[in-house]
Structure 1
Amino acid sequence: MNSVPKLLIIGGIVMIVIGPLWMVGGRFLNLGRSPGDIAVEKEGFKFYFPIVTCIVLSVVLSLVMYVIRWFMR
């Protein structure tokens, strides 16, 4: 089997597992409302930019990918 279909199947399985965890965990983890995120609310205008959340997710996903690559050797 080609590597692209395997990658798509694994990606689908990962999303199926993460989806319910995200729904349940979203009640307990207030992901997206971290201290340092930019939120501007004025009359008739709302702007939200989750900069700290993006940085935290980037670091966590980078560490996960590093560990996966380390075990794949």
Structure 2
Amino acid sequence: MNQNTGKYLILIGSVLLLIGIFIYYFSDKLHWFGRLPGDIHYENKNFKFSFPLVTMLIISLLLNLILYLVKKFF
């Protein structure tokens, strides 16, 4: 392993730690997440289906932005 691999592992760990802290302390304020307009929810008597399409798009955009910034500055 070289030195850059260690830097990337520390960066990824720090980002995951920050996300975990944010979710831990603000989970009561994130109840809307996964229930955005455009998310598909179907519920029947014996069946429940959920496909959070818009939520996944937002997560994808945020991850792409983070990866772009990491790539640009490191």
TM-score exceeds 0.5: yes
For structure 1, which segment, 55-64 or 13-22, has the greater mean C-alpha deviation from structure 2 after superposition? Answer: 13-22
Q: Which runs of 5+ in 2 are unaligned?
A: none
Gaps of 5+ in 1: none
1:48 aligns with 2:55: no
Q: Structure 1: which 4+ aligned runs deviate by more than 4 Å?
A: none
The 5-angstrom pairing of residues 13-28 of structure 1 reads 13-28=14-29
TM-score (norm 1): 0.76
> In the aligned structure 2, how far is the partner of 1:8 from the partner of 1:71?
16
Q: CA deviation at 1:5?
A: 4.3
Q: TM-score, normalised by structure 2?
A: 0.75
Say how many residue pairs are matched: 72
Q: CA RMSD in A?
A: 1.9
Quote how far apart the aligned CAs of 1:56 are: 0.8
Provide the identity percentage.
40
- The CA distance in 1 between the partners of 2:12 and 2:73, in whole Å, is 18
Per-residue CA deviations over 1:9-61 (Å, capped at 9, x if unaligned) read 33223222211201222221321111110100000111101111001111111
